């Protein structure tokens, strides 16, 4: 993971370099977690723009037209994500390569999502790097670019490069970036939001994959005041505790124990900010045996106490 030049208090500028036939699914799985991170953080931690090589529009594979906010030559920021998806071979031109090589000087990180790694490699920007690409293109990618260490991964960081293998993996890569820059708590909030939406019957396509993790979260959320044992949570999920732990680490980057603690403390934070309950009452409602235990856990998670946080709302 690169060390970002801007302080984390400043919004990170993420620019998405789109091409005709880009994947709308990949775009949504990149932008939506950034939007959710801003919401949960209570401030703008990420901003994003749509960019094309010439500044014109880009048409997705599903005929969704996106108007660029600027041409690539004028764009600069913290991360540039190349997202060609289905039409990548016809976009691997010398014009694209020149634009990407020039952009390297204006961005801290270059990323290739879905088949975007091909364009970076064609510009010579992955030579000496480890990288991944959509599985259907991996063999051809390996043959075409021997100077790149091609590997099979969902997403892969190598210094100031990020590559991922498809639309679902884009969500995982963005989640990992959120965790590295702003902590596991924000990552959990964002990931759990999309998991909840996938179970709500809304029909939205969710990047969270495991129904058993969703069942575990529902069991935890229904039992905040009197927490279940982790074995009981696993039974609700229909998994062994070991298997559930493997799945929550893969889906959310946290153990079941850490996830349960996060949900309880998130509820406590809401009660501190939105009610006049005493700290003792909030402790009971969130499964803590006394106010001191809640205060210690709260301080560890949020670097403040319930009383100090409540004072900020006045």
Question: Which of 176, 140, 138 is closest to 157 using CA atoms?
Answer: 176
Per-residue confidence (pLDDT) for residue 242, from 0 to 100? 92
**Do 47 and 8 contact (CB within 8 A), yes or no?**
no
Task: Read off the pLDDT of each residue in 111-116 and give the average, rounded to a whole number.
Answer: 91
Per-residue confidence (pLDDT) for residue 9, from 0 to 100? 63
- Locus of tokens 């009197």: 226
Task: Read off the pLDDT of each residue in 2-18 and give the average, rounded to a whole number.
Answer: 74
CA atoms within 13 A on the CB side of 117: 37
Per-residue confidence (pLDDT) for residue 158, from 0 to 100? 93
Please report, for the chain, the start and end positions of each structural domain, with discontinuous segments joined by +.
Answer: 12-181, 210-311
- Burial (0-12, 13-18, 19+ Cβ within 10 Å), 95: exposed
* DSSP conformation class of 63: S
SS3 of the chain: helix, strand, coil, percent, to 5: 50, 15, 30
Model confidence at 207, in pLDDT bands (50, 70, 90)? very low
CA atoms within 13 A on the CB side of 52: 17
291-302 vs 256-274: helix crossing angle, rounded to 10:
100
184-198 vs 24-41: helix crossing angle, rounded to 10:
120
Is the whole-model pTM more than 0.85? Answer: no
Count the Cβ atoms, other than its own, within 10 Å of residue 69: 15
CA dist 187 and 179 (Å) reads 5
Count the Cβ atoms, other than its own, within 10 Å of residue 119: 26
The b/e string for 211-233 (b: 16+ C-beta within 10 A; e otherwise) is ebbbbbbbbbeebbeebbebeeb
**For the chain, how far is it from start to end, CA to CA, in angstroms?**
39
> In angstroms, what CA-CA distances link 277 with 71, 147, 200, 226, 232?
53, 62, 30, 18, 29
- Percent of the chain scored above 70 by pLDDT? 92
CATH number 3.40.50.880 given to 12-181: yes
> Mean pLDDT in the chain?
85
35-70 per-position pLDDT tens digit:
989 988 888 899 999 999 999 999 888 888 899 999
- Which of 11-15, 241-245, 301-305 shows the lowest mean pLDDT across its residues? 301-305
Architecture of domain 210-311: Orthogonal Bundle (1.10)
Largest CA distance in the chain: 66
Per-residue confidence (pLDDT) for residue 149, from 0 to 100? 92
Is 210-311 in the same CATH topology as 12-181?
no
134-186 per-position pLDDT tens digit:
888 888 989 999 999 999 888 999 999 999 988 888 888 898 888 888 877 78
**Do 36 and 193 contact (CB within 8 A), yes or no?**
yes
């Amino acid at each position: 993971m690169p060390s970002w030049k801007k302080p984390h208090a400043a919004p990170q500028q993420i620019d998405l370099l789109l091409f005709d036939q880009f994947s709308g699914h990949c775009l949504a799985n990149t932008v939506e977690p950034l939007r959710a991170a801003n919401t949960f953080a209570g401030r703008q931690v990420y901003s994003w723009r749509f960019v094309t090589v010439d500044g014109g529009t880009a048409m997705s594979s599903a005929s969704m037209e996106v108007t660029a906010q600027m041409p690539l030559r004028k764009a600069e920021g913290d991360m540039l994500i190349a997202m060609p998806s289905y039409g990548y071979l016809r976009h691997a031109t010398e014009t694209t390569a020149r634009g990407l090589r020039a952009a390297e000087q204006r961005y801290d990180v270059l990323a290739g999502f879905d088949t975007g790694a091909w364009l970076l490699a064609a510009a010579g920007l992955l030579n000496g790097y480890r990288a991944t690409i959509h599985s259907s293109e991996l063999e051809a990618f390996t043959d075409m670019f021997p100077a790149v260490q091609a590997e099979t991964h969902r997403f892969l960081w190598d210094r100031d490069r990020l590559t991922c293998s498809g639309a679902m993996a884009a969500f995982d890569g963005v989640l990992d970036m959120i965790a590295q820059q702003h902590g596991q708590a924000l990552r959990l909030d964002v990931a759990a939001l999309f998991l909840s939406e996938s179970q709500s019957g809304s029909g939205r396509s969710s990047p969270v994959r495991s129904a058993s993790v969703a069942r575990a979260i529902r069991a935890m959320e229904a039992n905040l005041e009197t927490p279940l044992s982790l074995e009981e949570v696993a039974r609700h999920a229909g998994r062994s505790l070991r298997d559930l732990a493997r799945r929550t680490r893969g889906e959310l980057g946290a153990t079941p124990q850490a996830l349960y603690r996060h949900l309880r403390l998130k509820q406590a934070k809401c009660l501190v900010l939105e009610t006049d309950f005493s700290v003792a009452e909030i402790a009971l409602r969130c499964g803590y045996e006394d106010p001191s235990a809640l205060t210690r856990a709260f301080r560890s998670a949020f670097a403040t106490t319930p009383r100090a946080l409540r004072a900020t709302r006045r």
